[in-house]
Chain A
Amino acid sequence: MRPKGRNCDHFRRLSTEGPDRPLTERELAFMDEHRLQCADCAEFERTACLSLNMLRGAALLPESAQGFDERLMRRLRVDNARASFRYWSPALVGALIACFALFAALQMITQPTRLKGVTIPGGEARMSRAHAYPSLELVHTPSIQ
Chain B
Amino acid sequence: MNMQAGITMFDSNAANLAGQEALIQERQWVSRCRVGDETALGFLIARHRNRLIRTATNLLRDRHEAEDVAQESFLKAFREIAKLRDDRAFSGYLYRICVRLCMDRLRLKRAELIEFDSPQPHAGGMVENRVVIEKLLNQMPPDLRTTLVLRELEQLSYEEVAEVMRVPIGTVRSRLHTARERFRKLWVEAVGE
Q: B-contacting residues of A (Cβ < 8 Å)?
A: 12-13, 16-17, 20, 44, 47-48, 50-52, 54-63, 65, 68-69, 71-73, 75-76, 79, 83
Asked if A68 and B71 make an inter-chain contact with CB atoms under 8 angstroms apart, the answer reads yes
Report the Cα distance A44→B57, complex, angstroms.
Answer: 30
Least CB distance from A10 to B in Å reads 13
Q: A-contacting residues of B (Cβ < 8 Å)?
A: 38, 41-42, 45-46, 49-50, 53-54, 57-58, 61, 63, 66-67, 70-71, 74-75, 78-79, 129-130, 132-134, 148, 151-153, 158, 176-177, 180-181, 183-184, 187-188, 193
Asked if B67 and A68 make an inter-chain contact with CB atoms under 8 angstroms apart, the answer reads yes
Asked if B130 and A69 make an inter-chain contact with CB atoms under 8 angstroms apart, the answer reads no
Can you sample 5 A-B contacts with CB below 8 Å?
A: A20-B151, A51-B187, A55-B152, A60-B58, A76-B75
Asked if A51 and B184 make an inter-chain contact with CB atoms under 8 angstroms apart, the answer reads yes
Main secondary structure, interface of B, reads helix
Least CB distance from A25 to B in Å reads 22
Which residues of the other chain, B, contact A75 by a CB distance below 8 angstroms?
Answer: 71, 75
Least CB distance from B65 to A in Å reads 12
Which residues of the other chain, B, contact A59 by a CB distance below 8 angstroms?
Answer: 58, 153
Asked if A62 and B177 make an inter-chain contact with CB atoms under 8 angstroms apart, the answer reads no
